[in-house]
Structure 1
Amino acid sequence: MNKSVVYIIYGVSGSGKTTIGKALAKDFKIPFFDADDFHPESNIKKMSNGFPLDDTDRAPWLKKMANEISDWSTKNGAVLACSALKQKYRETLQSIDSEYIEWIFLEGSFDLIAHRMEVRKHHFFKKEMLVSQFETLEKPKEGIVINIDKNSDEIVNEIKSKLHTNKSQLGLIGLGVMGKSLAKNFLSKDFTLSVYNRQMDNYEVDVAKKFVSEQPDSDDVLGFDDLQSFVSSLEQPRTIMLMVNAGKPVDLVIDSLIPLLSKEDCIIDGGNSHYKVTLERSKRLAKHEIDFLGTGISGGEEGALKGPSIMPSGSKKAYDTSGLFLETISARDKNGNSCCTYVGPEGSGHFVKMVHNGIEYAEMQLLAETYHILRFYAGKTPIQISDIFDKWIENGLKSYLLEITSGILLEKEGDDFLIDKILDKAGQKGTGGWSTNAALELGVSLSTISESVMARNISGMKSERVEASAIYQLKTTTIALDNIAFVESLEKAFKATSIINHHIGFELIKEASKEYNWELNLSEIARIWTNGCIIRSDLMEQIWELFFNNNDTSLLTFPDIVTIMKPRVTSLSEIVSIGLKAGFSLPVFSAATNYFLAYTSAQSSANIIQAQRDYFGAHTYQRVDTSLDQYFHTNWKH
């Protein structure tokens, strides 16, 4: 006959056996029983009169309970609350094989329990009998011990975490939008999970508990607002993912975790942290022999839920241990492989995510400029522009951002297009600016990305822009004739700009790899960006294949890219010229044009700059008619 587990919760009166037992039984969906309900009337009367029970009184009661336990085990199991203070009492109750009984001892100080007894009502046991109970109590030799100096939810979670069948495989801290979506993703992949969220009165209350209650299979997830209990609930070596706001909140959580963790435990920071800060955190945790993975995650709320692109970096040993979790929940490329790879050491994963966001900024601005010139220069309606974008997708320009923009343009409120009701003031979280700063430090041009950041900045100057518009009263022009040729030219310019933008982003990654000795694999980075992330596109599929075995080649110099670019350069320059003459700001189109013309020019204008620098600062210059290791200075004032 198959048997089920009976959970016996024991301890002195006032330790919370009934409260915890009922809660545990509810979670496990099994019956709850209180041993006090099985006392004969003579025992209840004796205790009510202030006299403790002796072993003669207890013997028939314990035997009756043993028979009940045996019966419950043949059904669905049960939870029993019973004092069972002496070892011999517990041996009597142990009427079935020990593997079918889980002993759970609720431990608390005399003062704590005495205080609870003072506020307890309608119970036949008096506080005066507590001394007798503590004298009788024999500390357990089996089962688990739970300290009751916390609330009932935390006690239940700790019990569940300590039962050998309920240790979670990993933990997640922070149940914001991305944290909740990732947690659901982990659960959908059949991982057992513990989640933790801070408690803040009137702001964040019972977030973890509510999350657990909302899951269809709550047996696989434990919720905590006590960090110690959360950590105790995890299998060792522990893997803990942080999904908290970047910056100081990450450090505060790490500082709280360090005393609770053990050697070879691993913390994964899945937020948008700066790559240099990630390096500092790695070094700090290494002193405690705790592993750290700085991990970029892209895909937004939907990607986090269904499968994002994931960019982890740090300890390779830690990735070998904890990377399985990340690989399992990530998106899949066209070959079915995980869109997650070990990027490299230190903060390289967060650096790569930063550049991803920079490329994303520029692609979004490029689409915004394209929409704007189609709407207000070519005179197209949002529906017509959506149709144009759909045709571009069919022509090989498919991308997530182009697809969602096409859909955005169709959204209406009543008879009005929603896009016309949205304030033209773009927000940002700073990662685009980080890319620009990194490019300045590394001496890399980041034209399209930097201009997209500046475009967001100037969009934020709404009131000043309105005032300046009223002052200057400049007019924009529209196309008077058939504009089919213009739309075709715009499509070519759009693709050329997107290629240039991606080239610029990968050049920044390549330079950082050299500077920091990261040995980054550009093909692998492109591959994990082919699905799950915001900048996934047909172009990214092509970039992945081009960089395969050609890691040091610049994107714009690949023969396949040259073939695409050559017939589109004229269109790119023409669109910028037309747009500017018509009175439209095209920062990313313009930046891409300027970058490309400079990049493909054997002779630049920089010689005059070197002459100027030497004139006022004696900075010296090199010459075209001598070796490059020679430097010259001219006395220009004569």
Structure 2
Amino acid sequence: MSKGIVYIIYGVSGSGKTTIGKKLAKDLDIPFFDADDFHPESNIKKMSDGFPLDDTDREPWLQKIANEIKVWNTKNGAVLACSALKIKYRKTLGSIDEKYIKWIFLEGSYDMISKRMQARKNHFFKKEMLVSQFETLEGPEKGIVITVDKSSDEIVNEIKSKLDTNRSQLGLIGLGVMGKSLAKNLLSKNFTLSVYNRQVDDYEVDIAKKFVKEQPDNHMVLGFDNLKSFVDSIEQPRTIILMVNAGKPVDVVIEALVPFLSKDDCVVDGGNSHYKSTLERSDRLIDKGIHFLGAGISGGEEGALKGPSIMPGGSKKAYNRSGNFLEAIAARDKANNPCCEYIGPEGSGHYVKMVHNGIEYAEMQLLAETYHVLRFYAKKNPDQIAAIFNIWRNNGLDSYLLEITADILLKKEGDDFLIDKVLDKAGQKGTGGWSTNAALEVGMPLSTISESVMARNISGIKSKRVEASEKYQLKTYSISSNDTIFIENLEKAFRTASVINHHIGFELIKEASNEYNWELNLSKIARIWTNGCIIRSDLMEQIWKLFLNDNDTSLLLLPDIIITVKSDIHSLTETVAAGLTSGFSLPVFSAAANYFLAYTSAQSSANIIQAQRDYFGAHTYQRVDTSLDEYFHTNWKH
């Protein structure tokens, strides 16, 4: 067995932890320790008197053992017998260095354990405490599970067979750009890893084997192009992360994978899958006893390598099983907590990632429009615009997207700015459009996000735009007054439009949470987005704190936001007016302004819509001077 590994055998009292632990330690030729021996006298007396320990009693005891584990790790390892009934207790024990701990859960029914307890003598733990232990017990989220309905020798032999140290801790399928980066991230955290990539003649040949050769010698990684061998190389219960293209490829891989999987294995889809597909896959796999997590991952290639933002959705048991791997490789927020947290039930993780991408689409378009008016209306060069953006970054508007846009504008090819050689035809992978469809399904406005998708679509008809430009020959106008005032207004307009865009995204998440009974926590989601992901920003730092104690109030109705937006809204409307009258398209700025004006109008124009519908279709309408549960139809023709 591996040097420095601590094997923690846990379960309720009477499950055989001490007996099995001593036998296993003897076979492995390493020391055995019983957690009970580390209890202070006050704990022992309390249990002897028939009173269960509370978490206050356990905290110093568990921390003391965690410190001992650190010492045992520096030597040849050890076997520890410990009840560790709750997940948080196990997290404390594993807080020193989880990767050097192997968890072994001894499972048995209440009746079986109770009979064992009756046969025990001279032990301070009484049978009456067993009921409390079973009530407290939280099932295993990692490691191996051994049923104790057999002899101690059989149990030890089963443990040793499952603790084959030649097996990897987890597996990853798909070594594209994101897959490779995520695999390197896992290896950098000292996890042992098996990787698999398909073989396609003259296209994908020996990808996994080549990846293994490229890694440093101190990284334990195995490469496979045979799926069964790959699965067999991972310790049970298995965690396998899929990093393949969304859509049919995910289903093809899962279908090929399932025959080789075992009960309680967990499959994690880390791609940009549609949330409805994730729901379907989860249902199919749970029927086979296999866990499934749909984990949205944001951060691009660099994020995957250094620490992305991860949004896992699925059963809580699935997250308890495999979430430790995801948390280990995630980015860290300012308090050093992982930018990965359990989002909610099946489908919710990929839904939240979809909305993240929608917000991202609109933020990118806002920056593109800002650049465009600065370049062609205010007549600033790219390096001057980069300087303006960097000033904004120091004014509370810092974001990853603003940072990279400033970098882009400074890049030259010879004496020319490279941005001037980039074709104005934007690509997309479809997730922005998914957000729009999802919003329609729950009846929510998605103005900024939908408009950003449409802006990419219209950019795609380049030849038509060129033809129309030549035929109409419309003029654009440059700024005719103080550009300092315009740029100050533009900064406020950008801030306000960004707040409105984020509000729209979080409103969609909130409505979906209500519609699908997901009970999503907006503050947790915003916190996950404070680092690692594409939309990380100063604004996101503010949002997660604002939602911390007010999960149900809309962003635009929070007092701090009201003060800012009320002060700056005129800058947004003036910027839109100046841009449009000067011949510049500002779709997302305009959408933000229109949404806000409609959102804050007590009286809208929808009464005319309702009258029109009743006129041509007898759809009825409600009146302001009667009860809202009354509906009317009128013959409107004079």
TM-score range, shorter chain: 0.7 to 0.9
- 2:507 counterpart of 1:499: no
Is 1:513–1:519's contact at 8 Å kept on the other side of the alignment? yes
- In the alignment, the residues of structure 2 paired with residue 433 and residue 476 of structure 1 have an alpha-carbon distance, to the nearest angstrom, of 31
Is 1:212–1:218's contact at 8 Å kept on the other side of the alignment? no
> What is aligned with 1:484?
484
- In the alignment, the residues of structure 1 paired with residue 162 and residue 311 of structure 2 have an alpha-carbon distance, to the nearest angstrom, of 33
Is 2:164–2:235's contact at 8 Å kept on the other side of the alignment? no
CA shift in 2, pair 1:223/1:609, >3 Å: same
Please list every run of at least 4 consecutive aligned residues from structure 1 whose deviation after the TM superposition is greater than 6 angstroms. Answer: none
> What is aligned with 2:193?
193
> What is aligned with 1:204?
204
- In the alignment, the residues of structure 2 paired with residue 224 and residue 218 of structure 1 have an alpha-carbon distance, to the nearest angstrom, of 19
- In the alignment, the residues of structure 1 paired with residue 175 and residue 313 of structure 2 have an alpha-carbon distance, to the nearest angstrom, of 23
Residue 520 of structure 1 aligns to a residue in which SS?
Answer: coil
Is 1:330–1:339's contact at 8 Å kept on the other side of the alignment? yes
> What is aligned with 2:364?
364
> What is aligned with 2:265?
265
Letter in 2 for 1:246: A
Query: 1:111-126 alignment to 2 at 5 Å?
Result: none
CA offset digits 1:89-143 (Å, max 9, x no partner): xxxxxxxxxxxxxxxxxxxxxxxxxxxxxxxxxxxxxxxxxxxxxxxxxxxxxxx
Letter in 2 for 1:285: L
Is 2:314–2:345's contact at 8 Å kept on the other side of the alignment? yes
> What is aligned with 1:322?
322
> What is aligned with 2:184?
184
> What is aligned with 1:282?
282
> What is aligned with 1:422?
422
- 2:390 counterpart of 1:390: yes
Give the structure-2-normalised TM-score: 0.74
- In the alignment, the residues of structure 1 paired with residue 212 and residue 490 of structure 2 have an alpha-carbon distance, to the nearest angstrom, of 50
**After the TM superposition, which of the residue ranges 564-573 and 519-528 deviates more from structure 2?**
564-573
- In the alignment, the residues of structure 2 paired with residue 545 and residue 331 of structure 1 have an alpha-carbon distance, to the nearest angstrom, of 18
Residue 311 of structure 2 aligns to a residue in which SS?
Answer: strand
CA offset digits 1:453-511 (Å, max 9, x no partner): 00000000000000000000001000133310000000000000000000000000000
> What is aligned with 1:221?
221
Residue 296 of structure 1 aligns to a residue in which SS?
Answer: strand
> What is aligned with 1:294?
294
- In the alignment, the residues of structure 2 paired with residue 298 and residue 505 of structure 1 have an alpha-carbon distance, to the nearest angstrom, of 16
Shift of 1:637: 2.4
Is 2:295–2:312's contact at 8 Å kept on the other side of the alignment? yes
Is 2:273–2:350's contact at 8 Å kept on the other side of the alignment? yes
Shift of 1:567: 1.3
Query: 1:44-59 alignment to 2 at 5 Å?
Result: none
> What is aligned with 1:13?
none
CA offset digits 1:309-351 (Å, max 9, x no partner): 0000011101001000000000001111010000000100000
> What is aligned with 1:458?
458
- In the alignment, the residues of structure 2 paired with residue 383 and residue 178 of structure 1 have an alpha-carbon distance, to the nearest angstrom, of 31
> What is aligned with 2:129?
none
- In the alignment, the residues of structure 1 paired with residue 346 and residue 568 of structure 2 have an alpha-carbon distance, to the nearest angstrom, of 40
Number of matched residues? 479
Shift of 1:635: 1.4
- In the alignment, the residues of structure 1 paired with residue 218 and residue 492 of structure 2 have an alpha-carbon distance, to the nearest angstrom, of 52
> What is aligned with 1:587?
587
Residue 294 of structure 1 aligns to a residue in which SS?
Answer: strand
> What is aligned with 1:599?
599
Residue 313 of structure 1 aligns to a residue in which SS?
Answer: strand
Letter in 1 for 2:499: I
CA offset digits 1:512-555 (Å, max 9, x no partner): 00000000000000000000000000000000001012111000
- In the alignment, the residues of structure 2 paired with residue 493 and residue 261 of structure 1 have an alpha-carbon distance, to the nearest angstrom, of 54
Is 1:162–1:232's contact at 8 Å kept on the other side of the alignment? no
CA offset digits 1:351-371 (Å, max 9, x no partner): 000000000000000000000
- 2:354 counterpart of 1:354: yes
Letter in 1 for 2:526: A
CA shift in 2, pair 1:637/1:356, >3 Å: same
Letter in 1 for 2:424: D
> What is aligned with 1:39?
none
Is 1:162–1:233's contact at 8 Å kept on the other side of the alignment? no
Identical counterparts, % of pairs = 78
Is 2:187–2:219's contact at 8 Å kept on the other side of the alignment? no
Letter in 1 for 2:468: A
> What is aligned with 2:510?
510
- 2:548 counterpart of 1:548: yes
> What is aligned with 2:147?
none
Letter in 1 for 2:182: L
> Aligned Cα RMSD in Å?
1.2
Is 2:162–2:236's contact at 8 Å kept on the other side of the alignment? no
Residue 409 of structure 1 aligns to a residue in which SS?
Answer: helix
CA shift in 2, pair 1:222/1:163, >3 Å: farther
CA shift in 2, pair 1:518/1:430, >3 Å: same
Letter in 2 for 1:537: S
> What is aligned with 1:529?
529
Residue 634 of structure 2 aligns to a residue in which SS?
Answer: coil
- 2:357 counterpart of 1:343: no
Residue 352 of structure 1 aligns to a residue in which SS?
Answer: helix
Letter in 2 for 1:575: T
Query: 1:127-142 alignment to 2 at 5 Å?
Result: none
Shift of 1:583: 0.3
> What is aligned with 1:122?
none
> What is aligned with 1:175?
175
> What is aligned with 2:64?
none
- 2:258 counterpart of 1:246: no
> What is aligned with 1:411?
411
Is 1:192–1:220's contact at 8 Å kept on the other side of the alignment? yes
> What is aligned with 2:33?
none
Structure 1 gap segments, 5+ residues each: 4-160
CA shift in 2, pair 1:309/1:219, >3 Å: closer
Letter in 2 for 1:456: R
CA shift in 2, pair 1:469/1:522, >3 Å: same
CA shift in 2, pair 1:242/1:424, >3 Å: same
CA offset digits 1:155-178 (Å, max 9, x no partner): xxxxxx999322100000000000
- 2:394 counterpart of 1:378: no
Letter in 1 for 2:557: T
- In the alignment, the residues of structure 1 paired with residue 329 and residue 519 of structure 2 have an alpha-carbon distance, to the nearest angstrom, of 26
Residue 313 of structure 2 aligns to a residue in which SS?
Answer: strand
Residue 410 of structure 2 aligns to a residue in which SS?
Answer: coil
Is 1:496–1:572's contact at 8 Å kept on the other side of the alignment? yes
- 2:447 counterpart of 1:447: yes
> What is aligned with 2:62?
none
Letter in 1 for 2:247: G
Give the structure-1-normalised TM-score: 0.74
Query: 1:145-160 alignment to 2 at 5 Å?
Result: none
Letter in 1 for 2:487: V
- 2:433 counterpart of 1:433: yes
Is 1:172–1:183's contact at 8 Å kept on the other side of the alignment? yes
Is 2:428–2:456's contact at 8 Å kept on the other side of the alignment? yes
Letter in 2 for 1:479: I
Letter in 1 for 2:541: E
Higher gyration radius (CA): 1
> What is aligned with 1:559?
559
- In the alignment, the residues of structure 1 paired with residue 189 and residue 420 of structure 2 have an alpha-carbon distance, to the nearest angstrom, of 41
Residue 519 of structure 2 aligns to a residue in which SS?
Answer: coil
- In the alignment, the residues of structure 1 paired with residue 616 and residue 475 of structure 2 have an alpha-carbon distance, to the nearest angstrom, of 42
> What is aligned with 2:128?
none
> What is aligned with 2:630?
630
